[in-house]
Every structure is written in structure tokens, then in C-alpha cells.
Amino acid sequence: MSVEIAEIFRRVSHGVYVIGVSSGERRNAFTAAWVMQVSFKPLMLAVSINPGHSSYGLLKEGGRFSVTVLARDQFDLALHFGQSAGIDKLADQAWHPSPRGVPMIDTGLAQFECVYESECDAGDHRVVVGRVIDGALLDRDRAPLIYRDTGDADGALMFFPDSFDP
């Protein structure tokens, strides 16, 4: 693992988000940092997700997901939803189901609800593209939580190689 390579990649700026997924009565939410807008017409967001995680299956089965933009002072919330599977991460949090049943976190800066459109392989992750069908501005005053400012809270440092592949 290379701390230098990790620091180089941490200069690629992006926020920290909570992604909500559901299928029938099953639901979950997880922390993600690789999220971006990819289209204006129609409005679309892309989310990178490890296909080995249970949330990927829920997203595929349910065909919908939500994205909540976290504020700088919500680092603890990012840690909470970044925990491993096996617990109901929504149990002690403020959230509501969208009219279509997708978990929507009640706090944060903004939220989106998306319908699955497509996906593609991206190394050890899948990039899922969703068409935005609803959204809300929750707080216009606070600054967003930026991934670079989270340190190695997600343990990603161990995944960076010692050197770049030629």
C-alpha cells in the first residue's frame, strides 16, 4: 500500500453521501464517496458500488436508490452508514420512505431519488447510473463533507498499490 498514491487520489475532489436502497420490505443505506452527476437531459447521477455488498443486490432488485449529500459536520453519520452489513443501520436514524419505498435520510444538504437506468464494470466496482425522478434541498447554509477530509476512516488506504501499473 502506498500512502503517496492514496494522497494523490485524495486530491480528486468529491463529497460523501449516503445511498439508500430497498427491495420489498428489505432496505439498507451505505456511505459512498464515488458519486457524480453524469447528464442534464435527462438529469442523471452515477454511483460506484462494490457488487459484493448486499446493497448492490437490493439496488438491482428494487431498481431505485436515493442519494443524500452529507454536510461537513455529519462525519459521524458517514461513519455510521459505513459500517459493515449485519445491522439495521436505519433503525436509530431519522429517515422516511419515498412514495416509491426508497429510504431517504432526513438530514443532510440535499437528497435525490433515482431510477436505475444502466451500469458498467469499473474494476472491482460497478458504476450504476440512475435517472433523477425527485429531489429536495434540505439545507442551503452548511458546507458539504469532502472525502479528502475524512482521513482513512473507510480503510481505503490498504487498497492502494505500492506503485502505478505501467
3-13 core/surface letters (b: 16 or more CB in 10 A; e: else)? eeebeeebeee
Domains and CATH numbers, the chain: 13-150 (2.30.110.10)
pLDDT at 157: 64
pTM here is 0.89
Condensed to tens digits (0 to 9), the pLDDT of residues 33-73 reads 999 999 999 999 999 999 999 999 999 999 999 999 999 99
- H/E stretch holding 68 reads strand 64-69
